[in-house]
Amino acid sequence: MGDTIKVYCKNNKTYKRFAAGTSLLDIYEAMHVRLPGKPACARVNNKTEPLNYICYRSKDVEFAGIDDPSGMRTYVRSLCFVLVKAVRDLFPEGKLQIEHALSRGYYCELELHRALTEEDVSALKQQMQRIIDAGLPFQSVEEQTPEVIRLFRANGLEDKALLLETVGDVYSKYHRLDDCVDYFYGCLLPGTHWIYLFDLVKYNGGLLLRVPNPNAPGELQPYVKQEKMLSVFRFLKQYQKTMNRDNVAALNRDIKEGRISTVVKVAEVLQERRIGKIADEIRRKFDEGVRIILIAGPSSSGKTTFCKRLQIQLLANTLRPVGISLDDYFVNRVDTPLDENGEYDYETIHAIDLPKFNEDLQRIVAGEEVALPAYDFLTGERVYRGHSVRLQENAVLIMEGIHAMNPLLLPSVAPEQTYKVYVSALTSVALDSHNSISTTDNRLIRRIVRDFQFRGYTAKDTLSRWPSVREGEDKWIFPYQENADAMFNSAMLYEFAALRKIAEPILKEVSQGDREFSDAHRLLKFLHYFNYIDKDELPNTSLLREFVGGSLFVY
């Protein structure tokens, strides 16, 4: 067949021959793939590529729209680039910081030499729409790294230049949108006309960039109030900004120049102070009748270690904490409810033996000595290992688990008897001012490391379960987070540098023939930007020890 290639399209399970050098977009149109909307990117041999990718050899291809996480990330990156260009067009002296996912959108701050106004936001939105309507192409260029660094500095992108200097790659990429130069760490859409829906609104002194709903592509994501979450982000972000430690380049410099031990110690002190303040508040609430502390949060947020460290602080406040992990009340694996795909659904509250849990709770509150179960994650069975509890004077019960804030958990307990703490890894360090780090990826890397080391799961196992975990979080955890009395951010400034050395070999075991290779490859590329630090730098009480091992605490 000469200069032809054979393409297998996973979307419609068909083969077709094309001339070598055909783009993914032309392949998509020729194979009549049906998606809920336009494609945003494609997995080529299970590696995510942009639609202008050229195929010179036979490939397996799977196209992804915004209902797919890879497609949504591509759409959001492209939309962020449009926002960056709009800011440079209208406010060339302004400094845009794309912060983090919030309220089902993306929170951004725009520093001007005055307060941001509604008129400013309206003008930016109109300029973004003009850029979209112009149908400008997103271009990707690869050059020798010194040339890319020079280009970034010429365009005022000092944080990107510094990051490349600390990574040490021979060649690097940058993106161009008309006269605007930048770089976004992943695929972009073919052009601005691919962006069909967005909104930009003034929000808590900054901007909220709103994006389509992946489950209803013709609608925007529904707004969710998350002002408590924003305050948690701002607390650590402001400290890091003051100390010039708010991006990966600064962290890498600390590692290379021998300052990382101090960075680790300061980060740990900040967390311990926050835990101490929460303990002080609980002591005051105890005098008002609080007897049950509920600690909730999504997977791999560090709830368990937070719980153990909080207990120490409570002891220092003359309280006697008694800890109960909701995970230990999982039903046996064979009795776990199944999801719509026939897989075990560990995220539903009904994976917990609620009758047994409430029976034990009532006996504990009544003053009885109660034998507590433990859940063996390797065998998937509940076991009893001789651990029992009896409440003494000044005792408080601490219950930790992803469902701790769910009203279904404690149907007979008065709300005024409880104090709720929400724990999550709200990543505050950024790759650079236009590329925040996903809090979801933070937790995913933690979980991959923990599952491999302590639960017998491969990276492929964890990655394959992650969509179900995320779906469960959206259904069972996130709706209750703003009801917390206190929020605790478990993310550490230095943690990706410490996780990298452990995570990389685990991720590299995922075969390219596995569908999970796409995310494994993406996470490996992301970790590549962090210089290594050895886990020996971490104190044995560090929350991160829950995932990397070597903790003083027993789990």
Q: What is the pLDDT of residue 114?
A: 92
Q: Where are the beta strands (DSSP E) in 204-347?
A: 206-210, 212-213, 216-220, 292-296, 320-325
Give the Cα separation of 513 and 505 in Å (integer).
Answer: 17
What CATH number did the domain enclosing 57 receive?
3.10.20.30
Task: Mark whether 109 and 215 lie in a shared domain.
Answer: yes
Task: Mark whether 40 and 85 lie in a shared domain.
Answer: no
Q: Give CB contacts under 8 A, 24+ apart, made by 522-528.
A: 522/48, 522/186, 523/441, 523/444, 523/445, 523/448, 525/185, 526/185, 526/437, 526/441, 527/445, 527/496, 527/499, 527/500, 527/503, 528/167
Give the Cα separation of 555 and 545 in Å (integer).
Answer: 11
Task: Mark whether 334 and 412 lie in a shared domain.
Answer: yes
Task: Mark whether 123 and 249 lie in a shared domain.
Answer: no
DSSP label of 406: -
Give the Cα separation of 237 and 252 in Å (integer).
Answer: 18
pLDDT digit string, tens, across residues 383-424: 999 999 999 899 999 999 889 999 899 988 888 999 999 999
Three-state DSSP class for 9? strand
Task: Mark whether 85 and 58 lie in a shared domain.
Answer: no
Tell which of 192, 227, 262 closes a domain.
Answer: 227
Close Cβ partners of 307 (under 8 Å, ≥ 6 residues apart): 295, 323, 325, 398, 400
91 within some domain: yes
262 within some domain: yes
Task: Mark whether 412 and 473 lie in a shared domain.
Answer: yes
Q: Are strands 4-9 and 59-64 parallel, antiparallel or unpaired?
A: parallel
As for how many domains the chain has, the answer is 3
**Beta-carbon-side half-sphere exposure of residue 446 (alpha carbons within 13 Å):** 25
CB count, 10 Å around CB of 215? 11
Q: Which domain, by its residues, includes 74?
A: 70-227
Three-state DSSP class for 420? strand
Helices 260-286 and 303-316: crossing angle in degrees, nearest 10, is 60
Tell which of 41, 64, 87 closes a domain.
Answer: 64
Task: Mark whether 377 and 508 lie in a shared domain.
Answer: yes
Look up tokens 């260029």; give the residue: 141
Q: What is the pLDDT of residue 109?
A: 94
198 within some domain: yes
307, burial (CB in 10 Å: exposed 0-12, middle 13-18, buried 19+): buried
555 within some domain: no
| Sheet of strand 180-182: strand arrangement | 139-144, 171-177, 180-182
Task: Mark whether 125 and 148 lie in a shared domain.
Answer: yes
Task: Mark whether 436 and 335 lie in a shared domain.
Answer: yes
237 within some domain: no
What CATH number did the domain enclosing 203 receive?
3.30.980.10
Tell which of 199, 227, 255 closes a domain.
Answer: 227
CB count, 10 Å around CB of 247? 21
Task: Mark whether 453 and 490 lie in a shared domain.
Answer: yes
Residues composing the chain: 555
Task: Mark whether 133 and 260 lie in a shared domain.
Answer: no
The pTM is what?
0.92
Which stretches of the chain score pLDDT less than 70?
Answer: 1-2
Close Cβ partners of 148 (under 8 Å, ≥ 6 residues apart): 164, 172, 173, 174
43 within some domain: yes
Structure tokens at 527: 């970790």
Structure tokens at 25: 């977009």
Q: What is the pLDDT of residue 219?
A: 96
Helix then strand then coil, in percent of the chain rounded to 5, is 40, 25, 35
Task: Mark whether 345 and 461 lie in a shared domain.
Answer: yes
Q: What is the pLDDT of residue 2?
A: 57
What CATH number did the domain enclosing 475 receive?
3.40.50.300
232 within some domain: no
Q: Which of 168, 152, 139, 169 is nearest to 50 (CA)?
A: 139
Structure tokens at 248: 């990966």
437 within some domain: yes
